[in-house]
Amino acid sequence: MSETSPKLRAVLGGIPTYKPGKPAAAEGPVAYKLSSNENPYPPLPGVMESALAAAAGFNRYPDMACTGLMNELAERFGVPVTHIATGTGSVGVAQQLVQATSGPGDEVIYAWRSFEAYPIITQVSGATPVQVPLTSGDVHDLDAMADAITERTRLIFVCNPNNPTGTVVHREELERFLDRVPSDVLVVLDEAYKEFIRDVEVPDGLEIYRDRPNVAVLRTFSKAYGLAGLRVGFAVAHEPVAAALRKTAVPFGVSQLAQDAAVASLRAEDELLGRVGSLVCERQRVSEGLAGQGWTVPDTQANFVWLRMGELTVDFAAACEQAGVVVRAFPGEGVRVTIGETEANDIFLRAAEAFRKERF
């Protein structure tokens, strides 16, 4: 047997593997997972029925064109079906967007800190990440991002609301930024948490993309619609971009279970968005509770809160876990905590209060 291993692309050596949120312990005291921005509600019975009905045919490949889902999305959002592309979660579609635009020698701009998949999918494509720090208020610095554009820029991610800070960019500043972006550079508005937004100054990407052929809007069924485990997301963009996404898609990347559950979710939207409303109330309760304890919490429009903890991050996450909630630590920076079940949020608030009394 040969001693050498297959030659892998050198760039992979420097790329971290995506780290999922830590799961709650299977054993021991009550533990809630608040580390992956998931929806705490169980699937709606009707949605589950649709998925289970599809399961009866899983000896067959799914509908590769996602016809039913595409038609439903086109109708729901009032966009031409040719402007939609579905994929294996919105992270899958994000990867396709990078592959469709950017390769070695090209640059991809995004804010940092932001969604941790951006640097990974950029480098896997062979492109160069250009990270533009958030402002001191943890908001996208759109002026600095526009200043970072070069002749090599091919794609820019704007995560709105931003993961992990929950902060948003407003209509006017976004339009001003887009006016500065050359028309041959694609801007991806990542709206994974769109349905949780209550700030009326935040634009709907679908209104922005209509007049801007270089804008793609990224959405997911994982968060508000509660289908994280089924892996289905989509982009809306003008035809050349949407067509390129269909070429870069992994064939049959969205299972029939996912397609049918997504259609059923769109049809049950009233109920699902009602749940989102409850989570938004809980978000307010948690944010106000933390502020009352003395924490500085950036205004969040997503289903999580961000606490800048610096050197205390790891200790704080450990204290939360000890109390029964698993949160997401970004060592040296801060902690992102998903809004979960009322009881989970209560445990978190109590843990935060105890930590503050002990360490501040």
Binding site for ligand PMP (CB under 6 A): 37, 89-91, 115, 159, 163, 190, 192, 220, 222, 228, 233
| Residue number, 90 or 96, with CB nearest to ligand PMP | 90
CA dist 108 and 273 (Å) reads 33
- Cβ-based burial of 236 (10 A; exposed 0-12, middle 13-18, buried ≥19): buried
CA angle 84, 85, 88 (to 5 degrees): 145
Query: Shortest distance, CB of residue 358 to ligand PMP, whole angstroms?
Result: 31
First to last CA, the chain: 60
Query: Shortest distance, CB of residue 49 to ligand PMP, whole angstroms?
Result: 22
Query: Shortest distance, CB of residue 283 to ligand PMP, whole angstroms?
Result: 15
| Residue number, 20 or 45, with CB nearest to ligand PMP | 20
CA dist 224 and 39 (Å) reads 7
- Give the CA distances from residue 332 to residues 270, 301, 310, in Å, rounded to whole numbers and listed in that order: 40, 24, 5
- Give the CA distances from residue 136 to residues 133, 228, 248, 290, 308, in Å, rounded to whole numbers and listed in that order: 9, 32, 37, 20, 11
Residue 69, phi then psi, degrees to nearest 5: -65, -45
Half-sphere exposure of 250 (CA within 13 A, CB side): 14
Q: Residue with the closest Cβ to ligand PMP?
A: 89
Query: Shortest distance, CB of residue 184 to ligand PMP, whole angstroms?
Result: 24
Query: Shortest distance, CB of residue 79 to ligand PMP, whole angstroms?
Result: 19
| Residue number, 89 or 324, with CB nearest to ligand PMP | 89
| Residue number, 153 or 163, with CB nearest to ligand PMP | 163
Closest CA relative to residue 166, chosen from 350, 22, 307: 307
| Residue number, 123 or 220, with CB nearest to ligand PMP | 220
| Residue number, 107 or 190, with CB nearest to ligand PMP | 190
Query: Shortest distance, CB of residue 61 to ligand PMP, whole angstroms?
Result: 21
Q: How far is CA 299 from the centre of its chain?
A: 17
